[in-house]
Amino acid sequence: MADRQPILVPLRVLEGESVPEGVPGLLANAHVVLLGYHVIPEQTAPGQARLQFEERARARLDEHEAIFETAGATVERRLVFTHDGQKTIDRTIHEHDCMAVLVPNAIGAVDDVLVAVRGTVGVDRLTRVVASVFAALDTSITLYHVAEASETDEDIETLLGGMRDRLERLGVDGSRIETRTERQRAPLDAIVDAAKTFDAVVMGETDPSLATFVFGLPADQVADRFLGPVLVVQREREADE
Amino acid sequence: MAEEPVDVETAGQNVAGEVPATEPDAVTDDTTVHDDDVELERTIGLVGGLAIGIGTMIGAGIFVFPGLAATNAGLAATISFAIGGLIALLVALPTSELATAMPRSGGGYYFISRGMGTAYGAIVGLGLWLGLMFASAFYLVGLGHYASAVFGALGVGLPFSPVVGIGLLFGAALTALSIGGTENTAKLQNAVVGILLVVLTAFLSYGVLDAVGAFGGRSVPEQFFSRGYFPVLTTAALVFTSYLGFAQVATVAGEIKQPSRNLPLAMVGSVLVVTVFYVVTIFVATSAFGADRLGQFGETAMVEVAREFLGVPGAVAILVGGLLATFSSANASILSASRAVYALSRDALLPRKASEVNLRYGTPHVALLAAGGPILALVATGQVELLAEVASFLHLVMYGLLCIALLVLRRRNPEWYEPSYRVPGYPVLPASGALTSFGLIVFMQPASIAIGIVVMLLSYLWYRYYAGDVTLKGDI
């Protein structure tokens, strides 16, 4: 049985964002870091917003915490008043060593999940998250890889086969794992297309680059175009970052 | 900096039965922590802090005062600005120490109320709020002068002076924008300050070269102390309004990232930067025209200096710069005033209602109106020098008390007082800071001193009436 992995669930708790249906079930075997945050304009001091909104925000978070705990997750929670939501999310990921972040979109039952495998980098964390979340669920898991021209079939077999073996060792039933490869496509579009027939997506975060600066992180783009929940596995942070 | 415990207990209640909000459990590099799991994120970095300090200050010293200062003190006005910078530095260093020990919103008010007790805190806190109003009104009248100069440059003759009207218009617009606007004004503020510094550096470099005769042009030979020695000090008191901004960095101390590093750097850094700019500006401006002619140009003298050096494009650049600078100064002051109201209301010195956040915009509408409304009344007076001096008076009282608070805290050395930055030259430096701050007040006009004293008296009476039972002082 895989260890529970810490997974961040950020919610704009006072703007009516709540835990969508199906999500607590999906994270039943995770350690949920529940982050309720409220973004305020610069004119307002964060402490000022706290004076007025803490009680309401706490009540909402209590409800969400109870929902996750009922589903079986362990929960740790934070309530943050901030001028910069992204900074708060990044900091919480770092401080709580979150393996992945959930972009909470609604789902029904999770019957199948698409796991986008980018390459050998980060595959370890990806494997641990998938095993932790899905080992005890009855979900079929598709390992999906968009190959580059230079990759041979053998390379791909090593990558996906290796991941399948590790998942089995971590307690995932091998008969539930499938693999799928595609070639000659832009990875992002391919993932979005493939995801259409799945209930949830697990993918890695990519390193920030100029392209991500202009177009946004690929994971965010997928989350915007795919309507179900996306688990974004975080890259390993440097200790001093 | 690991988690630093905060150990100040507040007690008592005000007339309305409100008690001071609880103090936080801990302060970290990124947050202020309440009740273990509620965090207030710190989001302002060093650049943001410097922009607040410089942006608040640079509007007045460069774009409003040169003409007035030259009339009063001649070329020696350069020294007046240097004196102001020195006093500001003597206060900025102790304030930095206090701020790293207590990086909380409210700045000077917070440090004094915790170090010296509620009565001093109330006088300083209410004085800071009102002082910022006087400062904002002063900047807005300056803005009015610049906007009028635009009309003048366009050749639009108006049958009346539009200065006060424009100041009122912008004051109302700024208040409305702060209440209803959710745009990212901090980024805009950073950009404005950056542009101003670039334009000024270019302009002043040219001016200095010209003044020392690099272009073989005329230089106006002039006696340095053409008005004598005493006016140098009265002018220093007048132009001290140009140095109020570093304290505004402390009013957002609760939102500064890595406070132990960024607060001292932002406060001391902004004072040093603006001092250099002011001194060079006055030197260039007085060298270009001589003090007498410069004085005749009044508040917008810098436009004429730029026209002299660089022709119409120069005049336009400085005109635009003056509009931006006075606008950003007024904006920053209104926001700081609203933070001061919040800090007072958090501590039950003002009704809790005053820091209420608007449900639609998420902005503190009551606090912003409490700042913006009186500002309009002050703008209507149109008295540049009086507004500036009262603002300086109220800040100087706070500055002096800040230095004394530091002396008291160092002496008693309570357990919770653990600044990560310690001021050098203790006790001489903070003592000089206190003496020079109070000393400068003496050189102000009697009217300014009288208004300042009345404001302090009213603040004290309000405290006795409204919150006489509230204890804010840390255990020392």
Residue B458 in any domain: the answer is yes
| Distance between CA atoms of residues B179 and A194, nearest Å | 46
Backbone angles phi, psi at B458, to 5 degrees: -60, -40
Quickly tell me which residue has 């302060």 as its tokens: B27
Residues 6+ apart with CB under 8 A from A108: A21, A22, A199
Q: Looking at residue B298, what is its pLDDT?
A: 84
| A6-98 and A112-233 agree in CATH topology | yes
SS (H, E, C) A41-104: CCCCCHHHHHHHHHHHHHHHHHHHHHHHHHHCCEEEEEEEEECCHHHHHHHHHHHCCCCEEEEC
Amino acid at B124: V
Alpha helices in B155-244 (DSSP H): 163-180, 185-211, 230-239
User: In Å, how far are B24, B167, B334, B376 from B173, measured between CA atoms?
Assistant: 35, 10, 12, 11
Nearest Cα to B286, choosing from B15, B66, B23? B66
Tell the residue number behind the tokens 């020696």, with chain if given.
Answer: B76
Find which of B40, B182, B338 to mutate to test the A interface (most A CBs within 10 Å of its CB).
B40
Whole-angstrom Cα distance, residue B352 to residue B19?
Answer: 9
Residues 78-117 of A with CB under 8 A from B: 78-84, 87-88, 91
The answer to whether A45 contacts B339, with C-beta atoms less than 8 Å apart, is yes
C-alpha–C-alpha distance, residues B254 and B449, integer Å? 32
> Does a structural domain hold residue B11?
no
Burial A128-165 (b: 16+ CB within 10 A, else e): bbbbbbbbebebbbbbbbbbeeebeeeebeebbeebbe
Sign of CA dihedral A193, A196, A197, A203: positive
Answer whether B39 sits within 8 Å of A79, measured CB to CB.
yes
Q: How far apart are the first and last CA of chain A?
A: 31
Expressed as residue numbers, the domain containing B114 is 44-467
CB-based burial, B232-241: b 16+ in 10 Å, e otherwise: bbbbbbbbbb
- CATH 3.80.10.10 holds for A112-233: no
Query: Do β-strands A74-82 and B38-41 pair in parallel, antiparallel, or remain unpaired?
Result: parallel
Contact A44 B185 (CB under 8 A): no
What string of pLDDT tens digits covers the 476 residues of chain B?
Answer: 445 555 567 888 888 888 888 888 888 889 999 988 899 999 999 999 999 999 999 887 788 899 889 888 888 899 999 999 999 999 999 999 999 999 988 888 999 999 999 999 999 999 999 999 999 999 999 999 998 888 877 777 777 778 899 999 999 999 998 898 766 677 888 888 999 999 999 989 988 888 777 665 555 556 778 788 889 999 999 999 999 988 899 999 999 999 999 999 999 999 999 999 999 998 888 888 888 888 888 888 888 888 888 888 888 888 999 999 998 899 889 889 999 999 999 999 999 999 899 888 889 999 999 889 999 999 999 888 899 999 999 999 999 999 999 999 999 888 888 899 999 999 999 999 999 999 999 999 999 999 999 999 999 999 999 998 888 887 66
Q: Which three-class secondary structure state does DSSP give residue B263?
A: helix
- Rounded CA separation B291/B237 (Å): 18
Helix, strand, coil percentages for chain B (3-state, nearest 5): 70, 5, 25
Got the DSSP string for B38-53? EEEE--B-HHHHHHHH
Closest approach of A12 to chain B, Cα-based (Å): 14
Look at residue B4 and tell me if it is in a domain: no
Q: Which two tokens stand for residue A52?
A: 């007025």
CA gap B120, B460 in Å, rounded: 8
Chain B residue numbers with beta carbons less than 8 Å from the beta carbon of A94 are none
How far away is chain A from the Cα of B357, in angstroms, using its nearest Cα? Answer: 7
Select from 3.40.640.10, 3.40.605.10, 3.40.50.620, 1.20.1560.10 the CATH code of A6-98: 3.40.50.620
Residue from B33, B37, B30, B25 nearest A75 by CA: B37
| Tokens of residue A149, six digits | 């021209």
The answer as to whether B475 is a domain residue is no
Best of A48, A80, A93 to mutate (most B CBs within 10 Å, chain B): A48
Task: Please check whether residue B418 lies inside any domain of the structure.
Answer: yes
ipTM of the shown complex: 0.89
Amino acid letter, A171: G
Domain boundaries, chain A: 6-98, 112-233
- CB B110, CB B402: distance < 8 Å: no
In chain A, what are the helix, strand and coil shares in percent, each to the nearest 5?
40, 25, 35
Question: How many other β-carbons are positioned within 10 Å of the β-carbon of residue B269?
Answer: 19
At residue B171, the pLDDT reads 93
In a domain, B27, yes or no: no
Residue B229 lies in a domain: yes
Choose from B29, B30, B39 for mutation: most chain A CBs within 10 A: B39
Within-domain flag for B18: no
Q: In Å, how far are A93, B25, B41, B103, B313 from B4, measured between CA atoms?
A: 22, 9, 15, 11, 53
Q: Which residue of B has its CA nearest to A44?
A: B363
Q: Does A77 touch chain B (CB under 8 A)?
A: yes
The pLDDT profile of chain A, 241 residues, written as one tens digit per residue, is 568 899 999 999 888 788 888 889 899 999 999 999 999 998 899 999 999 999 999 999 999 999 999 999 999 999 999 999 989 999 999 999 999 999 877 777 788 999 999 888 888 999 999 999 998 888 999 999 988 888 888 889 999 999 999 999 998 999 999 999 988 888 888 888 888 889 899 988 875 555 555 556 677 777 778 878 889 998 877 655 4
pLDDT at A107: 74
Instruction: Read off the CATH number of the domain in which B186 is found.
Output: 1.20.1740.10
Least CA distance to B187: which residue of chain A? A42
Contacts of B153 (CB under 8 A, 6+ apart): B303, B315, B316, B319
Nearest to A87 among B41, B182, B186 (CB): B41
Q: Do A46 and B184 touch (CB under 8 A)?
A: no
Q: Do B43 and A48 touch (CB under 8 A)?
A: no
The neighbouring-strand residues paired with B10 are none
DSSP secondary structure code for residue B298 in this structure: G
Q: Which of B19, B41, B52 to mutate to test the interface with A (most CBs of A within 10 A)?
A: B41
- pLDDT score, position A109: 78
Quote the CA–CA distance of B75 and B91 in Å, as a whole number.
26
- Interface residues from chain B to A (CB-CB < 8 Å): 21, 30-32, 34, 37-41, 43, 105, 178-179, 181-182, 184-186, 252, 254-255, 335, 338-339, 342, 346, 352, 355-357, 361-364, 368
Up-side HSE of residue B123: CA atoms within 13 Å toward CB? 21
